[in-house]
Chains A and B, each alone.
Chain A
């Protein structure tokens, strides 16, 4: 084979391709089986959320955030209302905070289950997907009961949450936590220790800690390199300082570490939900807020730990009921930026494994 002449070939992947998890297009150049260049083409799902927000009152923006990362919409709601509340210096009631935390963490479990299912599906394992979606459906049922929607929750408001937990809901959540704890080892056993799976992910798509930080990455992508950074711990917001949980870290920054961090984060989220269920008490779910929300003139930035990393909201306000400028710092968009660098020199067959492990949601990439 040595000395064989190969020709560079340009390949177009997506936008309509199942392994791109939405409408992402990658223009990839390959030399034989080796990727020499990659250019992600974005914007197929661009809806101009930031422009729309300039014409909307703060409460009206909340449903638009649902459509960013549509598998983790609770955290998107939380990011916006948290930024507005911090700007207004608003104190929330305890019950509202607990309901927020329970829902965000349940959503994190659902989102990570979706990752496990689809990632293993990308790698050719069909059955984990079915199991993961079975459990995820139970969480979505809980969400339907509390806010009426499976994906686009529109659940939080500036100053609290829209709906209190219906009767018996908290007990159902407790049952679910128990169920999930029983199921998790089985889900993991389906692939963990499987030689084919290990060969496809260990040492693949490696990045260093310095690279991840310089690229401004956050979430599991950053933590898989061993860097301990979780907004819930490092810049505490809401009531996360009241819970005892760990931040799972990787060591090598490869696809396997990213998979394993997802698995362990499910365990940690269940821990948080359980503690919140123990601590929650009856009470009001909305703080006293003015009818029309006005953010004092100024500039504000606040981020929350969303499913895929730090979801930040930068608000420039003129003191009116609508933002002058609202910028969303979207973790999927940032985490995707390093993809061409990770792909260069890799085998074509690894592309799906690396892209899948980056765990992007195109709704958030394009906003």
Chain B
């Protein structure tokens, strides 16, 4: 074996540059990433995706704020993707902006994808996905409640966990917890 190993680079220098064996999960996820990215860019143009990459085997895209709902609808209806089963939704305060994370699964094709949109902290907003996925109705209310991010065209934008008179949004990083 060792002889073979030492011989190979001499016999074929190109092989030395061959990449180390890739984790099959990463390989599969990378394929899904390119496929979904191609579909989105061919429909909405390059500018629709602000960032793309893998987050622990999940293709993750930061979508342009204005196109968020349209892209979500496209992902749900496009026959080769059919992302129909919402898995999780979360909002995160990154100090400069608030990011909405939405993870959705395709029960037909077996893919996962996470799409994100960013909104400004002061009076910022993100288009609602509740028209596409009824699932997002309450999750978006929760993000509005705890992070203070508005969802445009949401049919019922009220607080959900805290009472209406509550001051501030607790999950913001600059929220001051009183005793």
* A binding-site residues for B, Cβ under 8 Å: 42-43, 46, 48, 50-51, 86-87, 211, 213-216, 227, 229, 298-301, 303, 310, 312, 314, 316, 324-325, 327, 329, 333-334, 337-338, 366-367
Contact = CB atoms under 8 A, between A and B. Distances in A.
B134 A229 contact: no
Contacts of B52: none
Given A327-B90, A337-B138, 5 more contacts: A50-B171, A229-B85, A316-B92, A325-B93, A329-B87
Contact of A298 (B55, B135, B138, B139): B55
B56 A314 contact: no
Interface stretch (B13-21, B28-36, B160-168): B160-168
7 contacts: A216-B133, A301-B56, A303-B87, A314-B103, A329-B89, A334-B135, A338-B134
B92 A216 contact: no
Contacts of A86: 56
Contacts of A327: 88, 90-92, 101
Contacts of A334: 135, 138-139
A366 B161 contact: yes
Contacts of B138: 333-334, 337
A42 B161 contact: yes
A214 B88 contact: no
Interface string B140-165: 00000010000000000000111100
A216 B86 contact: yes
B87 A214 contact: no
Contacts of A333: 138
B60 A312 contact: no
Contacts, number: 86
A310 B55 CA distance: 20
B137 interface: yes
B107 interface: yes
Given A42-B161, A299-B55, A325 B85 contact: no
B170 A214 contact: no
Contacts of B89: 329
B165 to A, nearest CB: 12
B65 interface: no
A301 B162 contact: no
Contacts of B86: 214, 216
Contacts of B60: 299
The 5 A-B pairs at the shortest CB distance, nearest first, are namely A216-B135, A327-B90, A216-B86, A43-B161, A329-B88
Contact of A312 (B87, B91, B137, B162): B87
A303 B112 CA distance: 13
A338 B139 CA distance: 13
A196 B133 CA distance: 37
Contacts of B84: 213-214
B161 to A, nearest CB: 4
Given A43-B163, A215-B134, A298 B88 contact: no
Interface in B74-104: 84-93, 101, 103
B126 interface: no
Contacts of A303: 87-88
